[in-house]
């Protein structure tokens, strides 16, 4: 029986090294991205309606990602000339210029990243990897072919990860949490002495649920 095991990096793992051809030329990932955040996202196929809406949506938020010093990289197992033709079509028919590279992955690259599902033929699924400047995988989103992604959530996730690295944990729906808005959650005290001081130092619902202002 053929081995159809799907491998994919886990949170905290180093992003697997891949050498690929893209619409912007050869790339080593994550080597060429060292020192920067990047979002690598796969799509099932070029010249398909849902994927086209996704690429337009990512491009519409390109400047937001740039402000976060975060690069976008698309990927499918279509050949690079298909990517180039699709990008040309999006430009000519929709007047949207795709400024980020698109990887022409082969099956081994896609399998290494868990982007090929054994039950879905050869199309890559809608995976999203957010990777930090140390090349560590920080967040993974995995969508079926039938459901397009919400790019505002991808932007929010990058912002939230960057904020949490500097200031502390962020709440559900940050920066619009129903309880504390955009405030930052303070790590719970780990001893009785600190627990008793928490409410004097921060705003708290209880000693284990305290929060502080977001540093702009």
Among 51, 70, 204, 210, the active-site one is: 51
Is residue 51 part of the annotated active site? The answer reads: yes
Closest CA to 109 of 85, 73, 82, 138: 73
Strands (E), the chain: 18-22, 25-29, 37-42, 70-76, 102-104, 126-131, 137-143, 169-170, 184-186, 203-206, 209-212
- 169: which strand partners? 185
Alpha-carbon distance values, 1 to 4, 7, 112, 118, 122 (Å) = 9, 18, 20, 13, 18
Query: Which residues participate in catalysis according to the annotation?
Result: 51
């Amino acid at each position: 029986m053929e081995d159809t095991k799907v491998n994919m990096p886990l949170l905290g793992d180093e992003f697997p090294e891949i050498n690929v051809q893209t619409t912007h030329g050869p790339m080593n990932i994550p080597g060429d991205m060292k020192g920067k955040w990047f979002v690598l996202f796969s799509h099932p196929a070029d010249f398909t309606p849902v994927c086209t809406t996704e690429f337009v949506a990512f491009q519409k938020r390109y400047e937001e990602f740039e402000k976060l010093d975060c690069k976008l990289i698309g990927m499918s197992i279509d050949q690079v000339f298909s990517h180039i033709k699709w990008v040309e079509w999006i430009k000519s028919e929709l007047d949207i210029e795709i400024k980020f590279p698109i990887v022409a992955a082969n099956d081994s690259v896609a399998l290494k990243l868990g982007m090929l599902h054994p039950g879905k033929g050869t199309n890559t699924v809608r995976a999203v990897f957010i990777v930090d400047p140390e090349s560590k995988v920080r967040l993974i989103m995995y969508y079926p072919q039938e459901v397009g992604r919400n790019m505002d959530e991808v932007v929010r996730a990058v912002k939230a990860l960057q904020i949490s690295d500097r200031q502390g944990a962020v709440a559900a729906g940050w920066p619009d949490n129903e309880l504390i808005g955009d405030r930052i959650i303070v790590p719970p005290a780990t001893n009785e002495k600190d627990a008793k001081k928490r409410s004097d130092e921060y705003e708290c619902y209880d000693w284990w649920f305290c929060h502080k202002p977001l540093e702009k």
